[in-house]
């Protein structure tokens, strides 16, 4: 159930009947036919007792194939059948078989699909079964795939395949080898979800995940591959392997499956379990000698299970699982025995194991309310021989720490160690601690050397191998890149990957510092690449491009402007696949507006290519305050809450319209999520530039988010450093859209998960209340059971549908879809 607060509550419902339009039905002149297939005649299928399952298997085969074209063959039971282009009458006369064609409509379509003169037709729209020879349709803008199982012709009827519009929106039958991208492909296409490389680069483990609409099943598999030959040596199907890791001596592969830690001997193939049916198994690392594993093991808190009241112990006590305790244990792989390493009443997180195997680093959270960011990390070194710990220090803004030769390598914010990494032009700026920096620190936590103060990309994480070679993953504008780091010379060298956005990477121990990375590009589906520092190009080991071979993507172009203050504001825009520069297009402007850029990942929770395929220009802008452009640029996020960001979005959008004749400046929409959702509400109080706006999980009042969001006070410790509701009314009230709701004239759609703990649903509800009382056009959609990110696939489609339907109504003058959803 999806709740939409417009005037009533929306329920997912069966489509009502409709009044037929006087427009004549549109008939298909040609179909693609595969057959004859006597074994798939309805009578034969019914006699088998497995009719549904037999059809499903054939559909599954077709789902995995490229879009049918005339002449393409399909092999069935040793016979090679060919798709033939026929008239519907010819296809019916050909006997039992499968028909294929596409439906296309340029707006939301409500109508009826009929198959006339055909025996026992079974219809499948986008691989979903439709009952009978006649079915009512409610179709979003775009292309739909239609498959029909047919038994042949009814002798006494003319054969017709036709569609009739019920809302005066035309639909057309098509046969094409390519089609625009659709939302189901973006969520169903198989992707790499786990990547592990053996230290000697001989082995890699890849986990894949995809989905079938036919079987409505998540399809998961894992492969162990020989790297030199890129051949699969072992595979797991339907089993979720997590936290896979190779031992330093390259003899073992470990992983967790079904709450059990497993070991696979890479030389003999022996598979054995170490910890069986154990809950709470967390992250772990192999000891350098490969004889043991150090792991985090969590003891769940049960103190509230029988309690009728919960007394809060701290601000963090709101967090799910906060009272659970994670401790460090060492597991001997020969005997299977386990010894405890930390016995504190505070959770311990493993950071690294020293290369000689005699010590490890771990951290414990320290709540520090006296100063931002209101929490720090206590760093300890544990001697694995004596099991004695020594505290190295307590540090704010610490993100990662690793051993590096005889020192420690640290990723932390600019304000780490009293501002050791700050590089700002004056004291008028406050450093943004989401702008990650790299440091060397001695083992006593005293001497700290910043390595990246003059390096503009923001460092998110680093990897160090047994040879002391360092690879850093960075945010570089709207890209995520990898750099090799010479810590002695403080030099950064970019690795020659073709990927715009690195999703995950692995660093080997070989002399060449081989790196295996998976990621995607703005118009390039996911790829797996291997490269070494200094190489001019990478080797592509796996590509998802074949999954999109029948998809026509629109062009993506860059558009950068210089704002009145001399800052370069970067951006890019997506064109519809059938773009015509002589036309005027409605445009959706997207931004985050918070402290990270909207990266160039091929797809994600906000599918720009899908929006473009629905007839929109999509302009993505990167305003001031984001990381990846240097510390001065990112510092403008702190204590601003929209001040600079709104100016940049408005200015860049106005320039974008002025410099592109194909953009209709009167049909502009805007959308942002989280901080970007806040920006959408804030922009609506500052400008009437946009004809319609959408805020997903947006913040309407800074003080309520600060106090009620699970991470509100921690995020504000950086974004609103040293500012609180009692000492900075101008910020907490003056920048809160709720207190300026009377200035909002733009139709506003508010979307939120009703279980959002980051930005509670109340943030959208209170803006909805304000605008309803003010008599402004506003709608509120709550996705039940969903948190800050809409994860459930089908609910994600509903969320995307509401977003596009809202823009169709206001930017295309096409209200039918929105009316259908809010009926």
What is the three-state SS of 573-632?
Answer: EECCCCCCCCCCEEEEEECCCCCCCCCCCCCCCCCHHHHHHCCCEEEEEECCCCCCCCHH
Cβ atoms 672, 764 nearer than 8 A:
no
Do residues 672 and 605 lie in contact, with contact meaning Cβ atoms separated by under 8 Å? Answer: no
DSSP bridge pairs for 126? none
In this prediction, what percent of the chain has a pLDDT beyond 70? 97
**What pLDDT was estimated at residue 107?**
95
For range 411-427, the mean pLDDT: 96
9-14 own/partner pairs: CB under 8 Å, 24+ apart: 10/781, 10/821, 10/822, 10/823, 12/798, 13/823
Q: What is the pTM of this model?
A: 0.94
Task: Using pLDDT thresholds of 50, 70 and 90, give the confidence band for residue 370.
Answer: confident
- Per-residue pLDDT band for 291 (boundaries 50, 70, 90) equals very high
The b-or-e profile of 209-241 (16+ CB within 10 A means b, else e) is bbbbbbeeeeebbbbbbebeeeeeeeebeeebb
The per-residue pLDDT for range 472-503, each reduced to its tens digit, is 999 999 999 999 999 999 999 999 999 999 99
Are 218 and 209 in contact, with CB atoms under 8 Å apart? yes
List, for residues 760-818, the tens digit of each pLDDT value: 999 999 999 999 999 999 999 999 999 999 988 889 999 999 999 999 999 999 999 99
pLDDT at 527: 97
- Per-residue pLDDT at 155 exceeds 60: yes
The whole-angstrom separation of Cα 671 and Cα 676 is: 7
What pLDDT was estimated at residue 24?
Answer: 85
pLDDT single digits (tens) 673-728: 999 999 999 999 999 999 999 999 999 999 999 999 999 999 999 999 999 999 99
- pLDDT given for residue 1 in this prediction: 45
Return d(Cα 533, Cα 520) in angstroms, integer. 20
Of 129, 75, 57, 118, the C-alpha closest to 93 is: 118
Reading phi first (left if > 0) and then psi (alpha if -120 to 50, else beta), residue 646 is in alpha
The pLDDT tens digits of the residues spanning 529-576 come to 999 999 999 999 999 999 999 999 999 999 999 999 999 999 999 999
Which helix (DSSP H) or strand (DSSP E) does residue 255 occupy?
Answer: strand 252-257
Q: Give yes or no for a contact between 617 and 575, defined as CB atoms under 8 angstroms apart.
A: yes
Q: Is 50 exceeded by the pLDDT of residue 15?
A: no
Q: Which two tokens stand for residue 691?
A: 């004809």
Categorize the per-residue pLDDT at 13 as very low, low, confident or very high, splitting at 50, 70 and 90: very low
pLDDT confidence of residue 14? 31
Of the candidates 613, 549, 481, 614, the residue with the CA atom closest to the CA atom of residue 189: 549
Residues paired with residue 85 on neighbouring β-strands, in sequence order? 32
Helix orientation angle between 643-658 and 675-686, rounded to the nearest 10 degrees: 70
Q: What is the DSSP string of 434-453?
A: TS-EEEEE-TTS--EEES-T
The CA-CA-CA angle for residues 578, 582, 583, to 5°, reads 70
What angle (nearest 5°) sits at the alpha carbon of residue 424, between those of residues 418 and 430?
Answer: 65
pLDDT digits (tens, 9 = 90+) for 35-73: 999 888 888 888 899 989 999 999 999 998 889 999 999
- pLDDT value of position 238: 84
Contact 696, 759 (CB under 8 A): no
pLDDT in tens, 246-269: 999 999 999 999 999 999 999 999
Measured CA to CA, the distance from residue 72 to residue 59 in angstroms comes to 16
> Would you place residue 294 in the very low, low, confident or very high pLDDT band (cuts 50, 70, 90)?
very high
Cα–Cα distance between 267 and 105 in angstroms, integer? 57
Residue 526 pLDDT more than 90?
yes
pLDDT at res. 524: 95
Tell me the C-alpha distance between 368 and 445, whole Å.
19
DSSP at 737: G
Indicate if the pLDDT at residue 19 is higher than 70.
no
Average confidence score pLDDT of the chain:
93
Contacts of 685 (CB under 8 A, 6+ apart): 737, 740, 741, 743, 744
Q: Name the pLDDT band for 368 (thresholds 50, 70, 90).
A: confident
Q: For the chain, how many residues are written?
A: 823
Rounded to 5 degrees, φ, ψ at 803 are -60, -50
Name the DSSP class of 535.
-
What residues have CB less than 8 Å from 547, skipping those under 6 apart? 185, 189, 190, 525
């Amino acid at each position: 159930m999806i709740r939409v607060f417009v005037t009533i509550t929306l329920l997912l419902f069966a489509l009502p009947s409709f009044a037929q339009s006087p427009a004549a039905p549109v008939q298909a002149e040609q179909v693609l036919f595969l057959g004859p297939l006597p074994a798939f005649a309805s009578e034969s299928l019914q006699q088998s007792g497995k009719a549904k399952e037999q059809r499903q298997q054939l559909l599954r085969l077709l789902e995995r194939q490229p879009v049918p074209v005339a002449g393409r063959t399909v092999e069935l039971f040793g016979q090679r059948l060919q798709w033939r282009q026929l008239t519907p009458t010819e296809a019916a006369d050909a006997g039992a078989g499968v028909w294929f064609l596409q439906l296309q409509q340029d707006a939301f379509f409500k109508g009826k699909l009929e198959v006339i003169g055909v025996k026992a037709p079974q219809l499948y729209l986008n691989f979903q079964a439709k009952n009978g020879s006649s079915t009512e349709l409610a179709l979003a803008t775009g292309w739909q795939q239609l498959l029909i199982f047919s038994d042949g012709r009814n002798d006494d009827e003319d054969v017709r395949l036709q569609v009739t519009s019920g809302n005066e929106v035309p639909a057309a039958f098509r046969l094409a080898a390519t089609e625009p991208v659709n939302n189901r492909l973006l969520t169903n296409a198989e992707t790499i979800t786990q990547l592990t490389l053996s230290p000697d680069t001989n082995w890699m483990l890849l986990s894949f995940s995809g989905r079938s609409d036919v079987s409505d099943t998540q399809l998961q598999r894992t492969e162990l591959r020989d790297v030199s030959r890129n051949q699969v040596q072992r595979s797991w199907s339907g089993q979720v392997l997590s936290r896979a890791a190779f031992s330093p001596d390259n003899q073992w592969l470990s992983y967790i499956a079904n709450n059990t830690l497993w070991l696979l001997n890479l030389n003999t193939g022996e598979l054995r379990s170490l910890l069986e049916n154990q809950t709470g198994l967390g992250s772990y690392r192999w000891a350098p000698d490969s004889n043991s594993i150090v792991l985090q093991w969590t003891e769940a808190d049960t103190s509230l299970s029988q309690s009728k009241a919960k007394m809060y112990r701290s601000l963090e006590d709101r967090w799910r699982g906060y009272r659970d305790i994670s401790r460090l244990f060492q597991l001997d792989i020969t005997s299977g025995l386990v010894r405890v390493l930390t016995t504190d009443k505070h959770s311990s997180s493993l950071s690294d194991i020293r290369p000689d195997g005699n010590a490890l680093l771990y951290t414990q959270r320290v709540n520090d309310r006296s100063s931002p960011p209101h929490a720090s990390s206590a760093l300890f070194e544990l001697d694995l021989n004596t099991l004695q710990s020594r505290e190295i220090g307590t540090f704010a803004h610490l993100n990662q720490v690793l051993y590096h030769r005889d020192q420690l390598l640290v990723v932390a914010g600019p304000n780490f160690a009293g501002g050791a990494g700050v590089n700002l032009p004056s004291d008028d700026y406050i450093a943004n601690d989401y702008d990650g920096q790299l440091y060397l620190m001695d083992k006593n936590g005293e001497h700290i050397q910043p390595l990246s103060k003059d390096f503009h990309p923001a460092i998110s994480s680093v990897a160090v191998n047994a040879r002391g070679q360092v690879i850093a993953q960075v945010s570089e504008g709207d890209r995520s890149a990898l750099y090799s780091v010479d810590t002695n010379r403080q030099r950064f060298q970019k690795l020659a990957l073709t990927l715009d956005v690195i999703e995950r990477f692995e660093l080997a121990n070989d002399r060449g510092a081989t790196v295996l990375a998976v990621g995607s590009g703005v118009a390039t589906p996911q790829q797996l690449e291997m490269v070494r520092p200094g190489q001019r190009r990478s080797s592509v080991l796996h590509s998802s491009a074949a999954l999109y071979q029948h998809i026509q993507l629109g062009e993506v172009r860059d558009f950068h402007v210089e704002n009145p203050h001399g800052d370069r504001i970067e951006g890019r825009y997506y064109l519809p696949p059938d773009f015509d520069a002589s036309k005027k297009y409605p445009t959706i402007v997207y931004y985050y507006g918070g402290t990270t850029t909207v990266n160039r990942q091929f797809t994600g929770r906000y599918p720009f290519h899908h929006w473009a395929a629905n007839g929109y220009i999509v302009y993505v802008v990167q305003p001031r305050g984001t990381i990846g452009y240097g510390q001065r640029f990112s510092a403008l996020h702190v204590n601003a809450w929209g001040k600079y960001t709104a100016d940049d979005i408005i200015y860049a959008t106005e320039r974008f319209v002025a410099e592109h004749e194909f953009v209709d400046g009167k049909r502009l929409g805007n959308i942002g999520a989280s901080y970007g959702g806040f920006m959408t509400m804030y922009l609506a109080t500052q400008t009437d530039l946009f004809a319609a706006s959408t805020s997903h999980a947006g913040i309407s009042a800074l003080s309520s988010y600060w106090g009620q969001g699970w991470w509100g006070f921690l995020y504000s410790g950086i974004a609103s450093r040293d500012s609180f509701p009692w000492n900075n009314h101008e910020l907490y009230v003056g920048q809160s859209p709720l207190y300026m709701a009377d200035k909002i004239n733009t139709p506003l759609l508010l979307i939120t998960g009703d279980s959002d703990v980051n930005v509670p649903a109340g943030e959208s509800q209170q803006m909805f209340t304000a605008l309803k009382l003010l008599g402004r056009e506003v709608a509120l959609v709550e996705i039940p059971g969903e948190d800050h990110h809409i994860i459930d696939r089908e609910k994600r489609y509903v969320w995307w549908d509401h977003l596009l339907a809202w823009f169709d109504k206001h930017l295309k003058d096409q209200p039918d879809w929105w009316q259908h959803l809010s009926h």
